Amino acid sequence: MQKSFLTFLMLVVCLCTNFSSATSNPYSIEIEETLMPGTPAIHSFAFAQSGGKWLFIGGRTNGLHGFTPATAFPKQFSNKNIFVVDPVSMQTWSRNIFLDLPFTVTDQFRSSNMESVQIGNKLYIVGGYGYDSTVNSLKTFSLLSVIDVNEIIQAVINGNSIAPFVRQITDSRMQVTGGELEKLGDYFYLTGGHIFTGGYRRTVNNQIYTDQIRKFKINDNGINVSISDYSAFTDTTEYHRRDLNLVPALKDNGSTEYLIMYGGVFKRNIDLPYLNPIYIDDNSITVDYGYQQIMNQYTTAFMSAYNSSAGKMHTTFFGGMSLHSYNEITQSLEYDSLVPFIDDITTLTRNQDGTSGEIISTEKMPALLGTNAKFILSDSIPKYSNDVIKLDQITGRTLAGYVYGGIRALLPNNGASFPSEYILKVYITPDVPLPVEMVSFNSSVSNSNVILNWITSSEQNNSGFEIERKISDRENNDWIKTGFVNGSGNSNVQNTYSFEDRNLSTGKYEYRLKQIDFNGNFSYFSLEDAVKIGIPDRFSLSQNYPNPFNPTTIINFQISKGNNVTLKIYNSSGSEIATLVNEFKQAGYYSYEFSASGNLASGVYYYKLNSGEFEDVKRMVLLK
């Protein structure tokens, strides 16, 4: 990557307000490192997948290129193998590209920064910058190759020739490197890029930018390849970009596909990246002058997801190179005109009204990496036909895919760099808006009773609230359901709820509400502080309930100091028929259940509490 070598000043800019408040986090991200022995450490490659296996063609096996002809793109660091990786069995296969095809075909397959896109079982590869064996020099190739993905994968695994599954034509309009290729509807779009000839020189401009977005059809019948309906759109200012990110996107609740060009380098007459996104659809190409991209302006691994219910298009960039980085100590953005390597993971959201915003994830890349890496979408995740994740259909923590390859740097600027050996699993957990918006949730205590009160501001599909309780500070203590309060279904006004949990023993209790919708989905709201039932200030024996009863009833009592306690049941003749309590009890509130046995007849019974200085008797009726 070409950078300015003028003396620069590191500036700390406080863009946090515009940056963080522009959007809310659509999902949390978790990065998990995984090992797959034998996989290639490469970057700037062409990629495809089929049957759960990954295919890698071309790219480089060193780090960031140097800035002299001798150090920029040495041919010994070009990848000369086609690799197949099975992420499940963790097996890797390879085949040298020169075994089956002539130099005129295979030289493109060891180049870097090819433009490529997979459509179905075909991988389309355009251009690329690399070593041309026929002229013994570096150049940008004028080639379009079409590859049968599954057949190539099987050929590599089985040690067979790849030649039958490669078709290639020469076309000067395909002489591009460092751009991006995507398909929209019936047309391919080749965006940005440049023609790069010879070795890299700081003082000699041997790069000719295309300044174009090229639109065309590719025709392939399995034998012959051709290009038709070609047109080109030129803008020497805004399309003067290379090393950008071209993102497949959706709008209109998922019914309309389009493309977004994010970032790219370098502006004319100044070595700074582009900040204004460009939107490409079937009928127009529009530069967004109302938004300037803050992070990740250089080619990096990215993941795209669409929330159709909210009409929001999200693009997450994994590290890479950026005009800004986030300083966690000062909690501010730092500006660096050299566009350094970063470890930040950021999500850029385009809202339904056309506004955009960015947010930084709390998760970081494990190193300064991501540049020229690839995000590989998981086969099992719900997705649209253009590989945009269906965010509405994800619940809970989900494997979204992998970040593979790229460049790993030791320092943000002017340090050593290497092909990344990291393979990262990416998990996302959608930040789904709760169906109930809670205004308040609090408690009060009356003797041995806890009164819970809560207020909602809005409800969607709300069946009601289960009230759950557990004793604080007790190991292996599960939540138990103590009641249920009906919800208000759908409501946009405040609703007030109350529940009384009666006759609790002395102790500390935690409470939570389990809000349940009519589909069985649920979420929790927890009471912030534990509730304490204290020691009674007097002795008391309560009337049993229910009364009359059949066959069980509850007897509550309270004692203000510890003592030997008895609680006994008598019939109307004064004969004892049951003893519920006969032991020492600490001061507190107590509750016991009496169940009439089958031989007890209907009639009047008495229960008697004795606690040292206190004694009381109450009457109850069994009615069978």
For residue 4, the model assigns a pLDDT of: 33
Looking at domain 27-430, its CATH architecture is 6 Propeller (2.120)
For residue 183, the model assigns a pLDDT of: 98
Under the banding of pLDDT at 50, 70 and 90, the label for residue 62 is very high
pLDDT tens, position by position, 92-141:
999 999 999 999 999 999 999 999 999 999 999 999 999 999 888 899 99
For residue 18, the model assigns a pLDDT of: 38
Q: How far apart are alpha carbons 392 and 253 in whole angstroms?
A: 11
Strand partners, 306: 313, 390
Minimal CA–CA distance to 507: which of 469, 554, 539?
469
For residue 13, the model assigns a pLDDT of: 31
Asked whether 90 and 37 are in contact (CB, 8 A), the reply is: yes
Per mean pLDDT, which range of 3-7, 41-45, 495-499 is the poorest? Answer: 3-7
Per mean pLDDT, which range of 292-301, 392-401, 417-426, 492-501 is the poorest? Answer: 392-401
Q: Mean pLDDT, to the nearest integer, of 140-162? A: 98
Q: Between the CA of residue 112 and those of 46, 117, 120, 350, what are the distances in Å?
A: 8, 14, 23, 31
Q: Long-range contact list for 84-90, CB < 8 A, 24+ apart?
A: 84/53, 84/54, 84/55, 84/56, 84/153, 84/156, 84/157, 85/36, 85/39, 85/53, 85/54, 85/56, 86/52, 86/53, 86/54, 87/36, 87/52, 87/54, 87/402, 88/52, 90/35, 90/36, 90/37
pLDDT tens, position by position, 331-371:
889 999 999 999 999 999 999 899 999 999 999 999 999 99
pLDDT tens, position by position, 457-476:
988 889 999 999 998 876 66
Q: Between the CA of residue 467 and those of 477, 478, 479, 515, 524, what are the distances in Å?
A: 16, 13, 10, 9, 10
For residue 546, the model assigns a pLDDT of: 93
Return mean pLDDT, the chain.
90
CATH number for 540-622: choose from 2.60.40.3080, 2.120.10.30, 3.50.50.60, 3.40.50.300.
2.60.40.3080
For residue 533, the model assigns a pLDDT of: 87
436-533 matches 540-622 in fold: yes
Alpha helices for 99-143 (secondary structure H):
103-106
pLDDT tens, position by position, 401-417:
999 999 999 999 999 99
For residue 3, the model assigns a pLDDT of: 36
Q: Kindly state the percentage of the chain with pLDDT values over 70.
A: 94
Q: Mean pLDDT, to the nearest integer, of 174-181? A: 98
Under the banding of pLDDT at 50, 70 and 90, the label for residue 22 is very low
Q: Mean pLDDT, to the nearest integer, of 486-504? A: 92
Domain extent listing, the chain = 27-430, 436-533, 540-622
pLDDT tens, position by position, 199-251:
776 655 678 999 999 999 999 999 999 999 999 999 999 999 999 999 999 99
Under the banding of pLDDT at 50, 70 and 90, the label for residue 531 is very high
For residue 565, the model assigns a pLDDT of: 94
Q: Mean pLDDT, to the nearest integer, of 37-61? A: 96
For residue 202, the model assigns a pLDDT of: 62
What CATH fold (topology level) applies to the domain 436-533? Immunoglobulin-like (2.60.40)
Under the banding of pLDDT at 50, 70 and 90, the label for residue 272 is very high
- Is pLDDT above 80 for 11? no
Q: How far apart are alpha carbons 417 and 374 in whole angstroms?
A: 17
- Is pLDDT above 80 for 2? no
For residue 434, the model assigns a pLDDT of: 65
For residue 20, the model assigns a pLDDT of: 39
Q: How far apart are alpha carbons 169 and 142 in whole angstroms?
A: 8
For residue 205, the model assigns a pLDDT of: 63
pLDDT tens, position by position, 533-569:
888 888 989 999 999 999 999 999 999 888 999 999 9
For residue 124, the model assigns a pLDDT of: 98
- Is pLDDT above 80 for 418? yes
Under the banding of pLDDT at 50, 70 and 90, the label for residue 175 is very high
For residue 203, the model assigns a pLDDT of: 58
- Is pLDDT above 60 for 55? yes
